[in-house]
Amino acid sequence: MRSALGWISGTLLIVVFGIASLGGGDSGALAARGLNTPSPTAGTRGGDADPVATTAPQDAPVFSKNPNYKHAWIDVDGVKTHYIEAGSGPPFVLIHGALSWESGEVNYSDVMGPLSKNFRVIAPDIIGSGYTKPRGPQDFTGQAQGEFLVHFLEAMHLGPMFIGGGSHGGFLTQFVVFERPALIKKLVISNSLNGTSTNRPPMTDRDREPLPPQTPQQIRQMLENYYKHKDLVTEERVRLVHDVYQRNYEYSNAKSKAVAFSVDRYNQNLSYKGKHISAWGGELKIPLLLMWSEPGSRIDWGLEHMKRVPGSEMHILPWSGHHLPTDQSARWVHIVTDWLLSDPPRPPN
């Protein structure tokens, strides 16, 4: 499932080597999430028993052993909110997407250490994701998640900051920019349909299928299909993703049933003051960098938004799935760091 380069708005940097077909995106579909439907043989491989899928996660979080960042918690509106943090310097906050297995650590563990050389980098688990438990249906909508993110940033007492979001995080970060413009200096959006386009394919019955529980082996198979670099699928990553998924998939099902049962409802969930968040692109008054990849997203989604936002820049990387900061972490860090610490393009006079 979920162009012609006939015009340029801002600066377009295209780096393309052997690009694959278009695909991926901020999908609500079971198939697009790469998860396995239950089967009589699920949980076995080569005759070896695999732990059965269960809805009961461990009580203690299954953090990775990555030494490049620390885990911390803060109270936000009465919610114990988890985040990871590293480094010192200008604050750079990274926001993950809305898939049931995403979190600050899952999405950004590979870039925290390198970014910490220049920034105080923070990656929270948004409400209802990772290890930040939801309060209930009041947290289903994108707008509610955006408000919670604003309150997190205020609770952290972060001054003017850089902010970046991938996938659904592209919606959430723009929500923050419009609600608290004085808080944000520059914005980075990576592979985001939710934040850049209303061009979502019609919902199918398969899109509406509830997510089932998964075994660790099923999570491994999903990740091996999701990432373009198989060496990323380590035992530690599998354990972390499995734990996060098992904690959140039932809530994700309830949320999807409420806000993702049709294209119109999905886009309404991504609206700001009556219009899809992308329609406000012309009102963005800060520098914007769009980081895109093939086949992890569709280039035309990013180009559409680049055309809306005056002075925006776009960089396209090859050989990456939807999680660009994971599949191409070193290149993503290099480009983003250079852009954040450099002056923006000189406007015409």
Cα dist from 279 to 97, 118, 119, whole Å: 20, 33, 31
Q: Is the pTM of this model over 0.75?
A: yes
Residue 255 located in a structural domain: yes
Average pLDDT, the chain: 86
Residue with tokens 């480009």: 335
Could you tell me the residue range of the domain that residue 103 belongs to? 11-36+56-287+296-341
Residue 150, token pair as written in the block: 């604003």
Give the number of other CB atoms < 10 A from CB of residue 141.
17
pLDDT of 55 higher than 80 = no
Place of tokens 């870039």: 111
- How far apart are alpha carbons 28 and 30 in whole angstroms? 7
Tens digit of pLDDT for each residue in 155-181?
999 989 999 999 999 999 999 999 999
Q: Are 97 and 125 in contact (CB under 8 A)?
A: no
Q: How far apart are CA 229 and CA 237, in angstroms?
A: 13
User: Three-state SS string across 65-130, please?
Assistant: CCCCCEEEEEEECCEEEEEEEECCCCEEEEECCCCCCCCHHHHHHHHHHHHCCCCEEEEECCCCEC
Per-residue confidence (pLDDT) for residue 40, from 0 to 100? 31
Quickly tell me which residue has 């199918």 as its tokens.
204
Domain count of the chain?
1
Over residues 33-41, the mean pLDDT reads: 44
Q: pLDDT (tens digit, 9 = 90+) per residue, 256-306?
A: 999 999 999 999 999 999 999 999 999 999 999 999 998 888 999 999 999
Q: Is 47 among the domain residues?
A: no
Q: What is the CATH number of the domain that holds 196?
A: 3.40.50.1820
- Neighbour order of strands in the sheet with 288-295: 11-14, 313-320, 288-295, 184-190, 161-166, 91-95, 120-124, 79-86, 70-76
Q: In terms of Cα–Cα distance, which of 194, 191, 203, 155 is closest to 171?
A: 194
**164 located within any domain:** yes
Residue 187 main-chain phi, psi, to 5 deg: -130, 135
Q: Binning pLDDT at 50, 70 and 90, where does residue 200 land? A: confident
> Looking at the domain assignment, is residue 329 inside a domain?
yes
- What is the pLDDT, as a whole number, of residue 295? 85
* 348 found inside a domain: no
**Domain contains 41:** no
Residue 259, C-beta contacts closer than 8 angstroms, at least 6 positions apart? 140, 141, 142, 265, 266, 268, 269
Please report, as a single letter, which amino acid is at residue 320. S
Average pLDDT rounded to a whole number, residues 45-49: 34
In a domain, 332, yes or no: yes
Q: How far is CA 272 from the centre of its chain?
A: 19
In a domain, 274, yes or no: yes
